[in-house]
Amino acid sequence: MIKETLEKIEQISEKTLSAIKESVDLDAINDVRVKILGKKGELTAVLKTMGKLSADERPVIGAKANEVREAVERAISEQTAKLKSLHYEARIKSEAIDVTLPGKRMRSGRPHPMSIVLNDLKEIFRSMGYTVVAGPEIEETRYVFDMLNTFEGHPARDESDTFYISDDVVLRTQTSSVQIRTMLENKPPIAIISPGRVFRRDEFDATHSPVFNQCEALVVDKNITFADLKGTLETFMKRLYGDSVKLRFRPHNFPYTEPSAEVDLSCFKCNGQTPDSGYCGFCKNEGWVEMLGAGVVHPQVLRNCGIDPDVYSGFAFGMGLERITMMRYEIDDLRHLYENDIRFLKQF
């Protein structure tokens, strides 16, 4: 009886050990484990017959059974480790990266031409001692109009030009409102620029947009004259466009400056020489392009802000940033600046 049982155990052991070695995955190993060592497993079944053995046979079989159980468990853990490492190697192989393959080109963004120009402009004015300030886009009529000497009935206040939020609140039509806010909050000497969005009831076309950008400049100090304005604009425009650019001042009227001027720049594209085609679309054969409005701050505007016009004087100007940008890059349609067509933007 004992001999048979020992043989049976030995058979189970051999069969089991080779089944474990042949297992190709962890599930298969587990199946073997259950089949042999589980509650209904083969080895368990043999051990259940031990009751039929005599008292001195039992420990012999018990020891043999333990020996087999240990061997099986050792084989299971060895095979498990082997399968895991094979699996790991296969994964490394399949995930290998060929570093010699050519890379994928990353698409990088570029600054918008308006941002390039605005940054240059800020840099130029900062280097001349100006501070860059901001003001609200939704603004009270007293800052946009009244305190700038633009009283009820003035055409600039017309509802056909201005977006009214209420009787005394508008979307600002000009950055000149920041002049007033600045003078109310600061004592001279003052030297600021204020770039920002402005709003007008205009149709969208090649030269107009209901939303566009301006930059305001204001200087207030003792003995500021029109000559300072001229010198400042010359310096600024030459730094932006190069030394060959020429400025032309034409008399004009703004309610908040006296005297006032509109300032033109010599046409970049044709430089005043009519091109071979016979027509310069940029200046419409004028040779000059209108760039900005400017003037000596009206004494009443200073007074409105609590600044004594007998002691202080100032100059101011306001320019359209789209116009400045279009001039710089010879862009002939305003809409290119807003459409954000990647083929257009890639050029800058």
Rule CB under 6 A: which residues touch ligand DAH?
174, 176, 216, 254, 257, 293-295, 316-318
Buried b (16+ CB within 10 A) or exposed e, 64-78: bbeebbeebeebbee
Residue with Cβ nearer ligand DAH (49 or 235)? 235
Least distance from C-beta 169 to ligand DAH, angstroms?
19
Least distance from C-beta 281 to ligand DAH, angstroms?
23
Closest CA to 2 of 67, 44, 61, 62: 61
Least distance from C-beta 276 to ligand DAH, angstroms?
34
Residue with Cβ nearer ligand DAH (32 or 293)? 293
Residue with Cβ nearer ligand DAH (44 or 149)? 149
- Cβ proximity of 280 and 270 under 8 Å: yes
Positive/negative CA dihedral, 98, 101, 102, 106: negative
Cα separation, 39 vs 283, whole angstroms: 98
- Could you give the residue ranges of the DSSP H alpha helices within 138-191? 141-144, 177-185
Q: How many residues does the chain have?
A: 348
DSSP 303-327: HHTT--TTT-EEEEEEEEHHHHHHH
Residue with Cβ nearer ligand DAH (226 or 288)? 226
Least distance from C-beta 104 to ligand DAH, angstroms?
47
Residue with Cβ nearer ligand DAH (218 or 280)? 218
Tokens of 204: 């969208």
Least distance from C-beta 224 to ligand DAH, angstroms?
13
Cα separation, 144 vs 179, whole angstroms: 9
Residue with Cβ nearer ligand DAH (172 or 336)? 172
Least distance from C-beta 121 to ligand DAH, angstroms?
15
